[in-house]
Chains A and B, each alone.
Chain A
Amino acid sequence: MPGQVQSIARAAAILRLLASSSGRLGIGEIARSLDLPKGTAHGIVRTLQDVGFVEQDKTSGKYQLGAALLHLGTSYLDVNELRSRSINWADPLAARSGEAVRIGTLLDGKVLVVHHVFRPDDTLQTLDVGSLLPPHATALGKVLLAYDVGAANAVMQGEPEPYTRRTLVTVRTLTRALTGIRDNGWGAEIEEMTLGEAGIAAPIRGYGGLVVGAIGLSGPIDRVCDGQGHPRPALVAYVRDAARAVSRDLGAARW
């Protein structure tokens, strides 16, 4: 059995200490209470601050529990914040790929479109920010399900609607698709929602690698896929580059 990770145990102790104290605590007070070197306490508190579990009072410089702890169960990244942080990467993805770009997150078992960039050909297109897409039949949705076991189970236990002959509706095919997405780090949808349409998506990660959304492009199958019916490698690379760039901006270390 693996041993205890010391810094996690210490972080938990700091959170308990802050929760049980009536006011705010300074680094010195935290270090003394837990018998830790001040530098060690400071490093842990700063990390907790980065992920929103601890907040620092601007005037006194002391620490208290962060607002993020109060709604741990809900999405930690505001969707408007996600749009604002990704807008500079979504535009170049649309410009480079020549296709429409969307960013989505899961909301009540559906994919909420958080951001939408038109396909850059100036044809009439409608902004669909705020609309909901089926998670099992879109590249964005499948990528989001691949990293959210609970949502994936809920979709599979329901009765996924077959939009086309190629829509994945069984537990077996969906499970295999989600495993493939996790193995590859990206996902695609080929005529699973609309005949003649295809899409490619990749996960957007925040602190600690947590998936907070997905970014992807979609368009006519002959432009998105090559002669063999596979997503074009160049487009896949563009999507993954954009996802990595947004993730880096959001503080994901390794992506």
Chain B
Amino acid sequence: MTDSYVVSIDQGTTSTRCIVFDRRGNLVSVAQREHQQHFPRPGWVEHDALEIWRNVGKVVPRALAQAGIVAGQVAAIGIANQRESTVVWDRRTGVPVAPAIIWQDTRTDALVETLAGTPGAEDLPQRCGLPLTTYFSGPKLRWLLDHTSGLYERAERGEVLFGTMESWLVWNLTGGPAGGLHLTDVTNASRTMLMDLRTLAWHPDSLAFFGIPSAMLPEIRSSSEVYGTATDVLPGVRIAAALGDQQAALFGQTCFAPGDAKCTYGTGSFLLLNTGAEPVHSTHGLLTTVGYQIGGEPAVYALEGSIAITGSLVQWFRDRLDLISTAPEIETLARTVDDNGGCYIVPAFSGLFAPHWRSEARGVIVGLTSYITKGHLARAVLEATGWQTREVVDAMNADSGLDLTALRVDGGMTANNLLMQFVSDVLAVPVVRPMVAETVSLGAAYAAGLAVGYWPDLEGLRSNWHLAARWLPEMDDAVRAEERENWERAVERTFGWIKPAARAANE
């Protein structure tokens, strides 16, 4: 018998990647292709959904060729995708009616402000687990309906379809205009603001609030089940999973038990905590989201805290201050000194996010004395990521009543040993890195493999998870408490920097 494999498609913000995994969860081959970022106006970010679909058609065959396998050896396809980005396309031609509006796009800020004053706005967060902001798909879809002539009527007649990237890809993979399946999974649907977190169905009041015709919406399915069989790219192969990228990482890190948490450290960082079968509503500024749902089993929920500026602070240090020439050098520079020398950097570049939510805050560097060197600044840059992680973890512990006992990490910044040690020091729990760094793709592969019986059960997946590194807390409790207090005092100094008058003038 020839070996079989699982193929994962990670449709990300900057690129589309295809990874082939074997039965032990080892990476066999990778192919990647970037797509164009369009910035037609300040605050607007768009992708060409057709370009993305064409890229899928390029990277999948390339990954298979690299692995030396044929479609017949692929047991299943799983999809992980950039979340919230919104596509509307013509059911008959398969052509998008407008460029895809990407999650970072803030064109809906005025719309969101208007909607916030509309009756029904107060019921939304409880129902969907999310605050009303530009980030999620609902407002983006409403904007498209408002700004594309005749679109609302066509949507009512079911002539155009809405989807996030996984819907768009599944529809195209299963035939497109010729009978393509129009569906989404619970994790992606939980980022639209349109789904009821408890019933996992589109909620009529939410649809009415945003003015969305239900005829254009995809069917909500679990994250791990056979949706259908591909007729294009990998004809005959079952499509068996879809998850938003951060949820896929949670799954890939095998965070299957309540209290399991992972943090993906990149440009920004995303911390997700498995809270089990009940959605936990946050009183500390976190998002409530669906973690995953396997077939007909109950959904597993998660709390999510995002940190806007982590890796991007290192990039700022490199590109704007010119103090290092490559990102890894920050560790070398930081190791030229023993501590931060009393210096703290709070990177509130565009306000503070979870758990503070202060849009008028701006970044500060405090504690400067003539003693401070660029080495101390480098330390303060890394420590900022550690303390921001701590703030989100504290909020999660408070909201969930669970106590984090270890943090599973992935992403580029996990190569930074000093940072990982510091995260463990300030959290006072072990920080662990798994052997497979590609947790987003692995999560989609796992969910797909599980659905087709390639892997037997969650326990089987857990046994694939192997520890590559572990950092244990070494910081003295008294030092941690004092540094914590200093960080908090530094954070307070960011508050209120943008004056109300200036804000009013900007609006």
> What's the nearest-Cβ distance from chain A to residue B228, in Å?
32
Q: Is the CB of A117 within 8 A of B435?
A: yes
Whether B350 is near chain A, meaning CB under 8 Å from some CB there, is: no
Interface of chain B residues 20 through 74 with chain A (CB within 8 A): 24, 26-27
Tell me the bound Cα distance from A130 to B468 in angstroms: 16
Number of interface residues of B (CB under 8 A): 25
Whether A153 is near chain B, meaning CB under 8 Å from some CB there, is: no
Q: Is the CB of A88 within 8 A of B437?
A: yes
Q: Is the CB of B415 within 8 A of A83?
A: yes
- Which A residues lie within 8 Å of B328 (CB)? 78, 80-81, 83-85
> What's the nearest-Cβ distance from chain B to residue A78, in Å?
5
Q: Is the CB of B326 within 8 A of A127?
A: no
Whether A116 is near chain B, meaning CB under 8 Å from some CB there, is: yes
Contact of B329 among A78, A94, A95 (CB under 8 A): A78
- Which A residues lie within 8 Å of B414 (CB)? 87
Contact of A84 among B27, B327, B469 (CB under 8 A): B327
Q: Is the CB of A91 within 8 A of B416?
A: no
Encoded as 1 (CB less than 8 Å from any B CB) or 0, chain A from 66 to 108 comes to 0100000000001111011101100110111000000000000
Interface of chain A residues 151 through 203 with chain B (CB within 8 A): none
- Which B residues lie within 8 Å of A81 (CB)? 326, 328-329
Number of A-B contacts (CB under 8 A): 69
Stretch at the interface among A28-36, A38-46, A118-126, A204-212: A118-126
Whether B436 is near chain A, meaning CB under 8 Å from some CB there, is: yes
Whether A13 is near chain B, meaning CB under 8 Å from some CB there, is: no
Q: Is the CB of B435 within 8 A of A87?
A: no
Whether A129 is near chain B, meaning CB under 8 Å from some CB there, is: yes
Interface of chain B residues 402 through 442 with chain A (CB within 8 A): 412, 414-417, 435-437
Q: Is the CB of B435 within 8 A of A78?
A: no
Q: Is the CB of A92 within 8 A of B466?
A: no
- Which B residues lie within 8 Å of A129 (CB)? 417
Whether B208 is near chain A, meaning CB under 8 Å from some CB there, is: no
- Which A residues lie within 8 Å of B325 (CB)? 67
Q: Is the CB of A118 within 8 A of B26?
A: no
Which A residue sits closest to B416, measured CB to CB? A80
Q: Is the CB of A91 within 8 A of B329?
A: no
Whether B332 is near chain A, meaning CB under 8 Å from some CB there, is: yes
Known A88-B437, A91-B437: A117·B468 in contact at CB below 8 Å? yes
- Which A residues lie within 8 Å of B468 (CB)? 91, 94, 117-118, 120
Tell me the bound Cα distance from A92 to B437 in angstroms: 10
Which A residue sits closest to B418, measured CB to CB? A80
Interface of chain B residues 465 through 496 with chain A (CB within 8 A): 466-471
Which A residue sits closest to B412, measured CB to CB? A84
Whether B105 is near chain A, meaning CB under 8 Å from some CB there, is: no
Tell me the bound Cα distance from A116 to B468 in angstroms: 8
- Which A residues lie within 8 Å of B331 (CB)? 80
- Which B residues lie within 8 Å of A84 (CB)? 326-328, 412, 415-416
Q: Is the CB of B470 within 8 A of A121?
A: no
Which A residue sits closest to B438, measured CB to CB? A88
Contact of A91 among B332, B436, B470, B471 (CB under 8 A): B436
Known A84-B328, A127-B471: A91·B417 in contact at CB below 8 Å? no
> What's the nearest-Cβ distance from chain B to residue A212, in Å?
14
> What's the nearest-Cβ distance from chain A to residue B390, in Å?
21
Tell me the bound Cα distance from A85 to B26 in angstroms: 19
> What's the nearest-Cβ distance from chain A to residue B382, in Å?
12
- Which A residues lie within 8 Å of B470 (CB)? 118, 125, 127
> What's the nearest-Cβ distance from chain A to residue B21, in Å?
11
Known A87-B437, A127-B471: A95·B466 in contact at CB below 8 Å? yes
Which B residue sits closest to A123, measured CB to CB? B467
Q: Is the CB of A120 within 8 A of B415?
A: no
Which B residue sits closest to A101, measured CB to CB? B468
Q: Is the CB of B436 within 8 A of A80?
A: no
- Which A residues lie within 8 Å of B27 (CB)? 92
Q: Is the CB of B329 within 8 A of A96?
A: no
Contact of A121 among B24, B437, B466 (CB under 8 A): B466
Q: Is the CB of A118 within 8 A of B416?
A: no
Q: Is the CB of B332 within 8 A of A79?
A: yes
- Which B residues lie within 8 Å of A83 (CB)? 328, 415, 417
Q: Is the CB of B332 within 8 A of A78?
A: yes
Known A83-B415, A91-B436, A92-B27: A122·B329 in contact at CB below 8 Å? no
Known A80-B416, A117-B435: A122·B471 in contact at CB below 8 Å? no
> What's the nearest-Cβ distance from chain B to residue A91, in Å?
5
Q: Is the CB of B332 within 8 A of A122?
A: no
> What's the nearest-Cβ distance from chain A to residue B425, in Å?
14
Tell me the bound Cα distance from A144 to B332 in angstroms: 22
Contact of B466 among A87, A88, A122 (CB under 8 A): A122
> What's the nearest-Cβ distance from chain B to residue A71, in Å?
13
Question: Which has the most chain A C-beta neighbours within 10 Å: B27, B330, B468, B470?
Answer: B468
Give the top 3 A-B pairs by smallest Cβ distance, nearest first. Answer: A120-B466, A84-B328, A80-B328
Other CB < 8 Å A-B pairs besides A87-B415, A127-B417, A127-B471, 8 of them?
A: A78-B326, A80-B331, A83-B415, A84-B328, A84-B412, A95-B26, A118-B470, A120-B467
Q: What are 23 contact pairs spanning A and B, CB under 8 A?
A: A67-B325, A78-B332, A80-B328, A80-B331, A80-B416, A84-B327, A84-B416, A85-B328, A87-B415, A91-B468, A92-B26, A94-B435, A95-B26, A95-B436, A96-B26, A116-B469, A117-B468, A118-B467, A118-B468, A118-B469, A120-B466, A125-B470, A127-B469
